[in-house]
Amino acid sequence: MTRVIGIDPGTVSFDICGLEDGNVFLDTTLPTTEFAADPRKLVDLIQSAGDLDLIVAPSGYGLPLVPIEQFGDQERFLFTLVDERERGGISVLGGMGKMIPLMKESGLPFLFIPGVIHLPSVPEYRKANKIDMGTADKLCCLALGIYDQARRYSLRFEETSFVLAEVGGAYTAVMAVSAGKVVDGLGGTVGGPGFYSLGSMDGELAYLLGRFPKELLFSGGAAYIAGQPELSPEALIELAQHDGRARIAYEALLEGVCKSVAVEMVVAPNPREILLSGRLCRYAEIRRELTRRLQGYGPVRQVEGFASVAKEAAQGAALIADGLVGGAYQEMVDVMEIREAKGTSLDHLYIKGVEALRNKYLA
């Protein structure tokens, strides 16, 4: 018997999914605001689940299979990429930092997993001057996509191929899978705008801003373009029907997804499908419009998971956990080469001054 849990540390909610011999035994969610205020709630919830073989922990930008016992100061930086002076400035990141001691004290089998950039299936030349090719939770979404496509069409895991648009509550990421392996990704700070995040930043804008806080990466997205940073997705959809600025925001969001999918088609031509996932794709209007705009690239559909409450990333994290302990999804994990992940997200930078950066954070 294998009993595992996967956790998705979302901007809006923390979702938890548990599998026992491949069957769901835990399927729940916790508002991120509650987690940030009291990280112990999450640990208590997991402890109440009973004996566990493995827990895929909130892994941020990713670590190459690091158990909680080996988690130190360098790992703390690498999984959040937040300077120590700003650790308390963003509630969810501050909450994750506070959770680490609780994880260690619990004695539970927490494991941090990689992001896209750590995988050997992504060619080195695609990693050049990249950090965010898809965070660990986005890798989990890809795992669920592989599982779903294989199940739907009775394929072997190595026969799956798709481009996944993960349109989350804050960030949008678009990634590609070919022959069951992740081959590229445009992470939430690299591609088109998300609902809250601006996505990629114009280099000239970065220069004019000078040194900017991490919190800035959570701004500039559709809600900010609409002029209402507290705007909900439902309100944006409604406003876009009659408000000019909201319409600009809505178009920027949707076209950004489509442009990123087009980019990924270069490295993964002729995918079997374009898959949609993420919080915003739960809105019928957004899902329909993306389907209409993307259908020229191939069949489009929403990822279908196996849980009722937990989001896609939590389900994918549970699948990865199951595979890592030799469960039903071991073959999928083997095809994805997750065990072969290595290095850090700062290994592929070639810009001027990068050695000083590495010395500061990795020495």
The mean of the pLDDT values for the chain is: 94
CATH 3.40.50.970 fits 3-362, yes or no: no
Find the mean pLDDT for residues 231-243.
97
Q: How confident is the model at residue 86 (pLDDT cuts 50, 70, 90)?
A: low
Flag whether pLDDT at 39 surpasses 90.
no
What is d(CA 146, CA 226) in angstroms, rounded to the nearest whole number?
35
pLDDT value at residue 87? 61
Between 199 and 10, residue with greater pLDDT:
199
* Cβ-based neighbours of 205, under 8 Å, separated by 6 or more: none
Element spanning 66, H or E: strand 66-67
Find the mean pLDDT for residues 302-330.
97
> Nearest-CA neighbor of 130 among 207, 196, 185?
185
Find the mean pLDDT for residues 323-350.
97
The model's pTM: 0.95
pLDDT value at residue 35? 84
Find the mean pLDDT for residues 255-267.
98
Flag whether pLDDT at 241 surpasses 60.
yes
Q: How confident is the model at residue 89 (pLDDT cuts 50, 70, 90)?
A: low
Dump pLDDT digits (tens) for 170-214: 999 999 999 999 999 999 999 999 999 999 999 999 999 988 888
Range list of H helices, the chain: 32-37, 40-47, 73-80, 91-106, 124-127, 136-153, 203-209, 222-225, 233-239, 244-267, 284-294, 312-324, 330-336, 354-362
Flag whether pLDDT at 333 surpasses 90.
yes
Flag whether pLDDT at 91 surpasses 60.
no
pLDDT value at residue 36? 81
For 23, the 3-state DSSP assignment is strand
pLDDT value at residue 88? 60
Pick the range with the lowest mean pLDDT from 208-217, 230-239, 349-358: 208-217
What is d(CA 75, CA 71) in angstroms, rounded to the nearest whole number?
6
Q: How confident is the model at residue 363 (pLDDT cuts 50, 70, 90)?
A: confident
Dump pLDDT digits (tens) for 11-32: 788 899 999 999 999 999 998 8
Pick the range with the lowest mean pLDDT from 90-99, 154-163, 257-266: 90-99
- In the chain, domain spans: 3-362
Pick the range with the lowest mean pLDDT from 87-91, 111-115, 234-238, 316-320: 87-91
Flag whether pLDDT at 303 surpasses 90.
yes
Between 35 and 28, residue with greater pLDDT:
28
Phi, psi of 211 (to 5 degrees): -70, 130
Between 80 and 350, residue with greater pLDDT:
350
pLDDT value at residue 136? 97
Q: Specify burial of residue 42 (Cβ count, 10 A radius: 0-12, 13-18, 19+).
A: buried
Pick the range with the lowest mean pLDDT from 126-140, 212-226, 249-263: 212-226
Flag whether pLDDT at 126 surpasses 80.
yes
